[in-house]
Structure formats: C-alpha cells, structure tokens
Amino acid sequence: MANLSRRQFLRTIGLGAAAAASGCVGATQPSTGTAASGPGAAGASRKPAAKPNVVFILADDLGYNELGCYGQKKIRTPNLDRLAAQGMRFTDHYSGSPVCAPSRCTLMTGCHTGHAHVRGNLGRPRVGQLPIPDETVTLAELLKREGYRTGAAGKWGLGGPGTTGLPNKQGFDFWFGYLDQWNAHSHYPEYMWRNQKKIVLEKNLGGKRVQYSHDMFTEEALKFLRESAGRGPFFLYVPYAVPHVSLHVPEDSLAEYKGKWPEKPYKGGHYSGHATPLAAYAAMITRMDRDVGRIVALLKQLGVERDTLVVFTSDNGPTYTGGVDAAFFESAKPLRGLKGSVYEGGIRVPMIARWPGRIKPGATSRLPCAFWDWLPTLMELAGAADRTPKGIDGISIAPTLLGRGVQKPHEYLYWEHHSGRGMQAVRMGNWKGVRLNARAGAAAPIQLYNLDSDIGERKDVAAEQVKIVAKIAASMKDGRVESPYFTFGAPSKTRDEWLAKAKAASARMLKPEWLREGVER
Ligand SMILES: [Ca+2]
C-alpha cells in the first residue's frame, strides 16, 4: 500500500511493539531486538494457544456501592449479582481516573495518568476529546495482532471524527456509538457513529425521545457476539453510557421504581430535568443490569460461555450532578468523595470477572489493582505475555484471576487529576496519600489515610507517619512525567493551541447543516 503509515511500516518489519511501546508518555523504550522476535515474525512459529474471548463491560459513573453484590439495598441488580456469584468480585479495584476520558485511556494503554496521553476531559462538543496519537498502542490493537476480532459499542471519549484517536484507527474492527462525550449527555442523541460513518437518528430529532442509545449499544453488542462466536477469539468492549446523566430511561424500566420513594423533581440545566429523578436513576442501573444479563445469556446460547471472560466495572465514582442523589442511594458507601475526587469514592469501583471453569465461583479478591492492569492481564490470558509492550504501568492480575502462579503486587498505584488546583493520589499497600493542591508543587501537603482501619479517609495521620508520607511524596514526583497537555506547572501552550482549534472546529460542527454532512443515503 502506498499510504502505509509509519506505524504500519514498523509493524511490517517487526518493530511495531518496540517503536510504539508508548502509550505512556516518557515511558522507557525497550530494546528493539531483531525483526525475528517482533510480533510480525512470531506468528508463524507460535503454538496455537487457547485464547479466551473477552467481553469487557464498562458502566459510566457507577458507584462502588451501586450493585447489590457490593451492598446496594435500593437498586435491583440481579444479573450482576449472579455474575459475581459465578465469578470473582474485587473489593479494591480502581478506575484509571475520577473522570471519563483519562480513565478510558488508562484502560486502553496500560499506563496510569502520570504517563498517559489523556489526563483529563479536554475537548469540545462534537469535536470530541483530545485524541490518542497514532503511536499509542492500544489493548485492542494488541489483541487484534493476536488474532482477535475486535468490536466496541458505547461511549469512546479518546478522539473525535477525523482524528488519530478513532476506534477504527486504534484497533477496533467494528465500532458503534458516541465518539464525543458531550453527545453522550443525552441518551436520545441526534447522531452516533458506525465505524467512521455518521448515523443520524431521525426519530430523535427535534428533542424527541425514541431511539435510546443504551438499547442500541446492547443490540450492537449482541449482534457482534452472534457474528463472532465460533470464528476465533473475540474482544468485545461495551463502554455503556449509563448511569451517567442525563437522567433518561424508557418508561418500561421506570415503571418498576415509580412511586417507590418521595421525589423532588429535578428541574434540569445542562442536563435534562426529570419528574422522578430517584426512580430514573435506579431504573437506568437496573436496565443496564438486565442487558448485562442478556449479553451473558447469549454467550451461553452460542456455546462460548466457558471460553469467555466477562469483566464488568465502572469508569469512575458516582456523580454529584444532573439530579442524581448519591446520598440517598449511598452510592459510594463507605467511601469518601464522588466523581471528580481522588478520594476513594471517585476512583474505587466495582469489578467482577467471570470465566466459568477458570475463575473460582463466588470468590472475593482484595488485591489492589487498577484499569491499567487490564492490558497486560488480557495479553497474558491470550498467551501473549511476551508481546506485551514494555514500560507500561500495568501488572497482569491473571495469577489472581486464575488462582495460579505468583501475583506480583504494585509498589503503588497512582492517579493525577487536573481540575481545580490539581490533585494527586497514591495507594501504597494500605496507605493512601492525597495531595489536593498539586499546582503548588512539592510544598503542597499530603494527607495520609490508613485504609485498613479508615476506609472512609476520615483521619489524616500524615503527622504521625512522616516516613510513609515521604515515600508517597517521592512516588508523586517520580511516578509521573509532565504532559504537554496536562501540567501542574505553568499553563500549557500546547493545550491552549489544541483547545483553540477545537473550539473553532466545534463552532463549525454545531451548525445545523453539519448533521447532514457526510451522511450516506
Ligand atoms: Ca464516567
């Protein structure tokens, strides 16, 4: 091909993984080795391995305590509770970030937010969020190289139309959904994307609520499974956009909760209002649970249940906005903080992994692990541990899942968040360090909590544990490299330039005629 990209070229000559080892900004580059050791050359001599199918379902803004199997009392989640009973439930699993886009970036790249390209929800309506670059090697690309069919339906957030970040350019054979996170603020959007084609949802135009995006994602996911089962290994990524606001849910799900609780209508603002916000929120979660049940049932029906790892988790903690009452549902109990916070409530999330015959049913793991562990984990399960890019932050949790081998622990887990005055957090063993004014640099104080005795992060013991605080301070310094876009120091010129272009493009795209541009009829 004449238009062979640099990355495709490098792959062809077997240097793809080496050249691109980084998703992680500034991560160590591994030695390039010889062409014969590269992924291109390895295929011919590789022994066929049993590669599990992977269905990775991601909820959006679902809190730590919002599933029955994690303690929720008001919202019904029978299918996810059953999934946990049939698999392993993790008590100490963390999302990549307290907000959407960077969390997804860590999942796709195996790099935490101290090394990730995307460290915030930087973006503009319809333009989408800051795209991951061509050089980034994603989980989907890696699994595709291992012979997986790759598909995704849901909310992306890692690059808008025409950019290097598109799912189809980052390893997904098939994509359906929202590219831009703003578009996902309505579950009855005017348009979505099927691969790189804009799909106008005619029945939703003019503010009508007919085509519920969540239902469409489920249908696309089920279709992908029907088309893929029995045709070699597949990776299906389902980043649902619920229960993220707006509070939108079809009447058949709302009915279950209507009249159940005293309601105070939510008037709406940026997000849509709702007459019965409590019922709506619960119904969104229960509908999602129903659809996880449909996906799992189809795996059985297709005869691939025992060949398929199903993972369910959430991209960050529960929200504080849009009419959601996290206090009423005790959405993050017993944790402190909500979405947007690096306290546990913003980042510790439910995670269930189920693989009949391989993962022990009804098991619970307290292993501290995080989104960036999935890339090396799934590579190891695919029999491709030796082809996992070097220099990433993730550690495979396959030994924990399979109850086999030695689980390497993290020295620490790291998060940074660029809202307000900047935040950093480190979990080191059972210690949790939180710095709330990261822009002030090393002088900014670090709060320290003992999660063992104080999971709610109430008692700051920094003054009593000076050595631990010093170690955490060192991790906050050494565990990151400065990003061109997300800085704790001087404002980033690169970011400002990108944003200026994005704003101009967004203004063009928000004109009514854009909706019809490039739509095939
Ligand atoms: Ca989210």
For range 213-236, the mean pLDDT: 98
Distance from the alpha carbon of residue 329 to the mean position of ligand 1, in angstroms:
18
368: burial class by Cβ within 10 Å (0-12, 13-18, 19+)? buried
Distance CA 312, CA 34 (A): 38
The tens digit of pLDDT for each residue in 339-348 reads: 999 999 999 9
Each residue of 386-423: b (16+ CB within 10 Å) or e? ebbbebbbbbbbbbbbeeeeebeebebbbbbbbeeebb
Say if residue 33's pLDDT is above 70.
Answer: no
pLDDT at 37 over 60: no
pLDDT band at 2 (very low <50, low <70, confident <90, very high): very low
Ligand 1 centroid–CA 244 distance in Å is: 7
Q: How far, in Å, is the centroid of ligand 1 from the Cα of 390?
A: 28
CA distance 160 to 370: 26
Cα–Cα distance, 393 to 370 (Å, whole number): 10
Please say which residue of 402, 433, 466 terminates a domain.
Answer: 402
The pLDDT, as a whole number, for residue 485 is: 97
The CA-based angle 180-175-386, given to 5 degrees, is 105
Cα 354-355-357 angle, rounded to 5 deg: 130
The CA distance from 198 to 496, in Å, is 28
Residue 520 confidence (pLDDT): 62
442-470 b/e (C-beta count within 10 Å ≥ 16 → b): eebebbbbbbeebbbbeeeebeebeebbe
Mark whether 225 and 362 lie in a shared domain: yes
Which of 354, 373, 402 is the endpoint of a domain?
Answer: 402
What is the band of 210 on the pLDDT scale with cuts at 50, 70, 90? Answer: very high
Q: Separation of 37 CA from ligand 1 center, angstroms?
A: 39
Give the pair of three-digit tokens for residue 33: 């080795």
SS3 assignment for 21-56: CCCCCCCCCCCCCCHHHCHHHHHHHCCCCCCCEEEE
Question: Are 433 and 348 within one domain?
Answer: no
355 found inside a domain: yes
User: Ligand 1: distance of its center to the CA of 67 in Å?
Assistant: 16
Mean of the per-residue pLDDT values for the chain? 92
Q: The whole model's pTM is what?
A: 0.92
Amino acid present at 317: G
Judge whether residue 84 has pLDDT over 50. yes
Same structural domain for residues 391 and 420?
Answer: no
Q: What is the spatial distance between Cα 459 and Cα 445, in angstroms, rounded to a whole number?
A: 15
- Position 152 pLDDT exceeds 50: yes
- Residue 453 sits in a domain of what CATH number? 3.30.1120.10
Split into its structural domains, the chain has a count of 2
How large a percentage of the chain has pLDDT more than 70?
A: 91
Residue 24: pLDDT band with limits 50, 70, 90: confident
pLDDT at 23: 53
**Residue 12 belongs to some domain of the structure:** no
Spell out the residues 6+ positions from residue 34 whose beta carbon is closer than 8 angstroms to its own: 14
- CA 257 to chain CA mean position, Å: 28
Q: How many whole angstroms from 376 Cα to the centroid of ligand 1?
A: 23
Identify whether residues 425 and 322 lie together within a single domain. Answer: no
Residues 283 and 427 in one domain: no
Residue 310 forms beta bridges with which residues? 55, 354
Does any domain span residue 394? yes
Do 259 and 309 have their domain in common? yes
- The pair of structure tokens assigned to 158 is 């890692």
Nearest to 516 by CA among 127, 211, 198: 198
Q: How far is the CA of 72 from the centre of ligand 1 (A)?
A: 19
Evaluate whether residue 484 is within a structural domain.
no
Q: Is residue 188 a contact partner of residue 248, using CB atoms and an 8 Å limit?
A: yes
What tokens does 363 get? Answer: 């098991």
Query: With 70 as the cut, is the pLDDT of residue 149 above it?
Result: yes
pLDDT at 12 exceeding the cut of 50: no
Q: How remote is the CA of residue 97 from the centroid of ligand 1, in Å? A: 9
| Rounded CA separation 205/209 (Å) | 8
What is the three-state SS of 464-509?
HCHHHHHHHHHHHHHCCCCCCCCCCCCCCHHHHHHHHHHHHHHHHH
Cα-to-centroid distance, 508 and ligand 1 (Å): 27
Task: Give the residues across from 177 on adjacent strands.
Answer: 154, 193
Query: What is the rounded CA–CA span in Å between residue 322 and residue 253?
Result: 19
**How far away, in angstroms, is 90 Cα from ligand 1 center?**
19
Cα 241 to averaged position of ligand 1 atoms, centre (Å)? 8
- 297 and 199 within one domain: yes
Distance 52 CA to ligand 1 centre (A): 27
Confidence of residue 46 (pLDDT cuts 50, 70, 90): very low
431 found inside a domain: yes
Is the same domain home to 161 and 222? yes
DSSP β-ladder status, 351-354 and 308-314: antiparallel
The alpha carbon of 29 and the centre of ligand 1 are apart by a number of angstroms equal to 31
Measure the CA–CA gap between 473 and 450, rounded to whole angstroms.
Answer: 16
Task: Please report whether residue 269 resides in a domain.
Answer: yes
pLDDT digits (tens, 9 = 90+) for 347-372: 999 999 999 999 999 999 999 999 99
Q: How far is the CA of 307 from the centre of ligand 1 (A)?
A: 29
Residue 245 counted as domain residue = yes
pLDDT digits (tens, 9 = 90+) for 89-139: 999 999 999 999 999 999 999 999 999 999 999 999 999 999 999 999 999
Domain of 473?
413-478
- List the one residue out of 170, 166, 126 whose CA is nearest residue 20: 170
Given a cut of 50, whether residue 5 has pLDDT beyond it is no
Domain boundary among 355, 375, 402: 402
Q: Is the model more confident about 441 or about 242?
A: 242
How confident is the model over 221-231, as a mean pLDDT? Answer: 97
Whether residue 439 contacts residue 455, with contact meaning beta carbons closer than 8 Å, is answered with: no
Return d(Cα 346, Cα 490) in angstroms, integer.
26
Distance (Å) from CA 337 to ligand 1 centroid: 14
> Is the pLDDT reported for residue 175 higher than 60?
yes
pLDDT recorded at residue 490: 82
* Contact criterion met (CB below 8 Å) for 183 and 162: no
Q: Which position has the higher pLDDT, 146 or 36?
A: 146
- Going by pLDDT thresholds of 50, 70 and 90, the confidence category of residue 7 is very low
* Residue where the block lists tokens 């997904």: 172
What spatial distance separates the first Cα and last Cα of the chain, rounded to whole Å? 29
Average pLDDT over every residue of 141-156: 98
Q: For residue 397, what pLDDT is reported? A: 98
* Count of beta carbons in the 10 Å neighbourhood of residue 199: 18
Q: Are residues 433 and 333 in the same domain?
A: no
Residues 269 and 297 in one domain: yes
Gyration radius of the chain over CA positions: 22
- What CATH number is attached to the domain comprising 151? 3.40.720.10
Q: Specify whether 229 is located in the same domain as 346.
A: yes
pLDDT of residue 454: 98
Averaged pLDDT, 455-481: 98
Same domain, 442 and 294: no
- Does residue 77 form part of some domain? yes
Query: Can you tell me whether residue 327 is helix, strand or coil?
Result: helix
